[in-house]
């Protein structure tokens, strides 16, 4: 994004050279641009002006408290998928009254937590969950606001692992069963029907599947109205893609305009759950070259970040652009950029043309979404530090983990 740019050969985030961040906080290190986060959010809110709406940032994309706080201050709501994410939102100053709770496996404890906090809506994904939520709410003397996540059965044309709107997926309730389930929900005394939601997949680069989904959702809204079930909001989920390499996803404004077009004449509040598009290109993973290892067939650049830090290449064969932090005068060669983990799948990028030497710093771009939030401690690797840049200031927003923290909860038996 425009917030990561070279200045006189030095890659900078906003006004700060990434090399300075590496010197101060070490590597691997995630670096986020506050301006990029704010920009993305404003693109949504500007495009939605004049229409009742709520932008619920999908916390799973990146759940660092500093990021949640930036969005909370801009007025965002949040889409959560666990009790843990709810506690993060509250700790970051988010408003429980703007939280929607998605996910196929909500536990009793999670339902209680969310009912106590007073969230905006439970996005219910099955008949069994409706029953459980009704019981839990009843036992607490509360009424749970609900939406049913319907599966519109449209093809998001994205990676099969991140496509969620097809019939064969585990998500949502079948479109054909939705009316019957709403009827049932209407009879349950501790539930209050407030909306409908859908989410068809992630990293979509076209608007047409979204529009197909809206049309199916609206047909359902009309069918419900004929039965006297009137909804307050329509939640169209997240899923808008970003540019990693050569993708050309629609701009936020164009995506929103297309949705608003499809919703013309409707008065329900519009809820969206964007994740990746708000944070993906607002973050980079900073890493240092440990070794260069020339080979007969391939040259390896072994870096200090690995699949435990950024799992997307290993898991989805995802592409992340990799740039040198300093333009240096080394011979440019094609490298396999790999981490130190004992797995062949531990790569960050294949066949990347780079002019680097041992100790060179690299920036793995578009790493703000599903990077840190999917990281692990595999190979007993402490998780990376996280830094947020705001203009010329640099803030450490998560300390690098220490090894003792990693096994603090473990015990040796006698």
Annotated binding site: 239, 273-276, 312, 316, 343, 370
| Residue 342 annotated in active site | yes
> How do 393-398 and 77-80 pair as beta strands?
unpaired
In whole angstroms, how close is the CB of 160 to ligand LLP at the nearest point? 12
Is 44 or 335 the residue whose CB approaches ligand LLP more closely? 44
Binding residues for pyridoxal 5'-phosphate: 239, 273-276, 370
What is the contact surface with ligand LLP in residues (CB under 6 A)? 58, 61, 79, 102, 162, 199, 202-203, 237-240, 273-277, 312, 370
In whole angstroms, how close is the CB of 279 to ligand LLP at the nearest point? 8
- Catalytic residue selected from 12, 56, 198, 342: 342
In whole angstroms, how close is the CB of 395 to ligand LLP at the nearest point? 24
Residues 6+ apart with CB under 8 A from 201: 156, 158, 162, 163, 164, 165, 209, 239
In whole angstroms, how close is the CB of 20 to ligand LLP at the nearest point? 29
Start-to-end Cα distance in the chain: 55
Binding residues for substrate: 276, 312, 316, 343, 370
In whole angstroms, how close is the CB of 121 to ligand LLP at the nearest point? 12
Is 60 or 288 the residue whose CB approaches ligand LLP more closely? 60
Whole-angstrom Cα distance, residue 286 to residue 282?
Answer: 13
Long-range contacts of 221-227 (CB under 8 A, 24+ apart): 221/196, 221/266, 221/268, 223/179, 224/179, 224/182, 224/196, 227/179, 227/182, 227/183
Is 162 or 355 the residue whose CB approaches ligand LLP more closely? 162
In whole angstroms, how close is the CB of 107 to ligand LLP at the nearest point? 17
Is 59 or 72 the residue whose CB approaches ligand LLP more closely? 59
- Which of 127, 172, 170 has its CA nearest to residue 150? 172
- Which of 56, 115, 89 has its CA nearest to residue 275? 56
Is 275 or 349 the residue whose CB approaches ligand LLP more closely? 275
Residues identified as active-site: 342
């Amino acid at each position: 994004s425009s917030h990561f740019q070279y200045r006189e050969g030095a890659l900078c985030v906003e006004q700060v050279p990434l090399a300075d961040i590496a010197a101060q906080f070490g590597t691997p290190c995630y670096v986020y641009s506050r301006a990029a986060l704010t920009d993305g959010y404003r693109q949504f809110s500007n495009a939605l002006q004049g229409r009742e709406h709520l932008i619920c940032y999908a916390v799973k994309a990146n759940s660092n408290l500093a990021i949640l706080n930036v969005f909370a201050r801009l007025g965002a709501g949040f889409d959560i998928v666990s009790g843990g994410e709810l506690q993060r939102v509250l700790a970051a100053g988010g408003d429980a009254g703007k939280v929607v709770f998605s996910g196929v496996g909500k536990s009793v404890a999670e339902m209680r937590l969310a009912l106590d906090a007073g969230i905006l809506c439970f996005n219910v994904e099955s008949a069994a969950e409706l029953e459980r939520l009704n019981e839990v709410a009843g036992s607490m003397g509360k009424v749970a606001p609900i939406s049913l996540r319907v599966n519109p059965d449209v093809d998001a044309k994205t990676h099969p692992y991140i496509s969620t709107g097809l019939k064969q997926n585990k998500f949502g309730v079948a479109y054909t069963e939705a009316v019957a389930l709403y009827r049932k929900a209407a009879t349950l005394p501790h539930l209050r029907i407030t909306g409908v939601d859908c989410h068809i997949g992630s990293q979509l680069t076209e608007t047409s599947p979204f529009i197909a989904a809206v049309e199916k959702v609206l047909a359902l809204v009309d069918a419900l109205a004929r039965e006297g079930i009137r909804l307050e909001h329509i939640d169209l989920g997240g899923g808008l893609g970003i540019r990693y390499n050569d993708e050309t996803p629609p701009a936020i404004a164009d995506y929103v305009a297309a949705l608003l077009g499809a919703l013309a004449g409707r008065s329900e509040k519009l809820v969206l759950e964007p994740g990746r598009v708000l944070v993906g290109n607002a973050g980079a993973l900073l890493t240092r070259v440990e070794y260069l290892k020339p080979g007969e067939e391939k040259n390896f650049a072994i870096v200090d970040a690995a699949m435990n830090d950024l799992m997307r290449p290993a898991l989805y064969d995802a592409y992340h652009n990799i740039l040198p932090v300093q333009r240096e005068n080394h011979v440019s060669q094609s490298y396999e950029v790999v981490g130190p983990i004992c797995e062949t799948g531990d790569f960050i990028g294949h066949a990347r043309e780079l002019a680097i030497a041992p100790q060179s710093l690299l920036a793995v771009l578009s790493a703000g979404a599903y990077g840190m939030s999917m990281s692990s401690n595999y190979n007993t690797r402490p998780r990376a530090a996280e830094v947020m840049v705001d203009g010329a200031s640099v803030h450490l927003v998560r300390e690098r983990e220490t090894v003792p923290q990693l096994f603090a909860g473990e015990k040796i038996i006698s």
